[in-house]
Amino acid sequence: MLGLRDLELKEEYRSDRNDIVAEFFFPCLSNCIEYDRCVDFLSIQTLATISMAFDNFAGGKAKLRMITGHRFRTSDLTLFTKLFSEKYTKSFEGRFIKDTKIQKLQDIVDKGQMELKIAIPNSEQIANSFSERIGIFRDEQDQAVAFTGTSRESFSTQTRDFESVDVFTSWNDKSRVERKMKDFEELWENKTKYLEVYDFMYAEENNLLKYSSEWVMQD
């Protein structure tokens, strides 16, 4: 496994110049042991793709922490609830996802390698959905790569948003990476102004999640 510092990373990836998934996301996922991610919308397909690309899940030491908004497609919310709830049996009927992918997700959740939290605005000063998009990769040498930008990580091979991400590394831009890491930790610990952050199952059991028809996703 390479360290993140061994990768030839650009400061910016943009759809007109780069294949953002192939050139940035997958190399970083393949060579990190921790991935923290905030995203406005999360689908089962995206989570399954991340888990397949995250090579180090296999060794049992990798960790994925996701924070997302509270709107889900109906089919996705059903599967997420089954994944994170101990009440359900491990039988899945994913229409577009092979059972092996779902089973891999279940194994990762069961081992405590994947956690999901929900961010919900609690102030009139903020619109009705969480839409921050930041991500942080860390490797075994404690190097880190942070990114911000418009990527929703649909990973679709057919259609993708036109998007860009700005990339910061701990060896070239330490203070900015540390600030992004601090921002994520404060979100994770529910210490961020204007937001309430809940464990996924708490949000589900307390009817805080919503079905959304706003999202037209091609993944």
Q: Which domains, from first to last, does the chain contain? A: 4-209 (3.30.870.10)
Which helix (H) or strand (E) segment holds residue 105: the answer is helix 99-110
pLDDT band at 219 (very low <50, low <70, confident <90, very high): very low
Proportion of the chain above pLDDT 70, given as a percent: 83
Q: What is the mean pLDDT of the chain?
A: 85
What's the pLDDT at 130? 85
Say if strands 134-138 and 34-39 run parallel, antiparallel, or are unpaired.
Answer: antiparallel
Name the residue with higher pLDDT: 67 or 124: 67
CB-based burial label for 95 (10 Å; 0-12, 13-18, 19+): exposed
Q: Are 100 and 51 in contact (CB under 8 A)?
A: no
pLDDT band at 218 (very low <50, low <70, confident <90, very high): very low
177 pLDDT exceeds 80?
Answer: yes
What's the pLDDT at 98? 58
168 pLDDT exceeds 60?
Answer: yes
Tokens of 132: 């921050």
158 pLDDT exceeds 70?
Answer: no
What's the pLDDT at 157? 53
What's the one-letter identity of residue 56?
N
pTM confidence score: 0.88
pLDDT band at 151 (very low <50, low <70, confident <90, very high): low
- Residue range 95-116: mean pLDDT, rounded: 79
- Residue range 14-24: mean pLDDT, rounded: 90
For 94, other C-beta atoms within 10 Å of its C-beta total 17
pLDDT band at 215 (very low <50, low <70, confident <90, very high): very low
Tokens of 53: 């690309």
- Residue range 50-70: mean pLDDT, rounded: 85
- Residue range 128-152: mean pLDDT, rounded: 88
What's the pLDDT at 188? 98
